[in-house]
């Protein structure tokens, strides 16, 4: 099992060839969420409303569906 935070240039195939059978990308998902949230917050602050950031957001209907699946 590996978490390729500092060696993201290596492919899953290369890792598999080295005997790795689990690759976890959780760090990348966490790191990418901050810039997305920052852009949304800046858009709201700039426009003084949320309308302009709606395209950056998951629709409420999709959020409700995710909750139902839990």
Domain ranges of the chain: 12-69
Global pTM reads 0.70
pLDDT tens track for 10-27: 999 999 999 999 999 988
The rounded mean pLDDT for the chain is 94
Furthest C-alpha separation in the chain: 52
In SS3 terms, 21-46 reads as: CCECCHHHHHHHHHHHHHHHHHHHHH
**What six digits make up the tokens of 53?**
């950031």
Share above pLDDT 90 across residues of the chain, in percent, rounded to a whole number:
81
Residue 70: how many CA atoms within 13 Å on its side-chain side? 6
Structure tokens given for 55: 């395209």
Residue that the structure tokens 């959780």 belong to: 26
């Amino acid at each position: 099992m590996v978490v390729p935070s500092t060696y993201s240039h290596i492919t899953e195939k290369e890792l598999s060839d080295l005997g790795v059978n689990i690759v976890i990308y959780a760090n990348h998902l966490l790191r990418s969420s901050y810039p997305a949230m920052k852009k949304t917050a800046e858009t709201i602050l700039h426009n003084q409303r949320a309308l302009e950031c709606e395209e950056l957001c998951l629709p409420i209907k999709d959020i409700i569906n995710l909750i139902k699946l839990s």
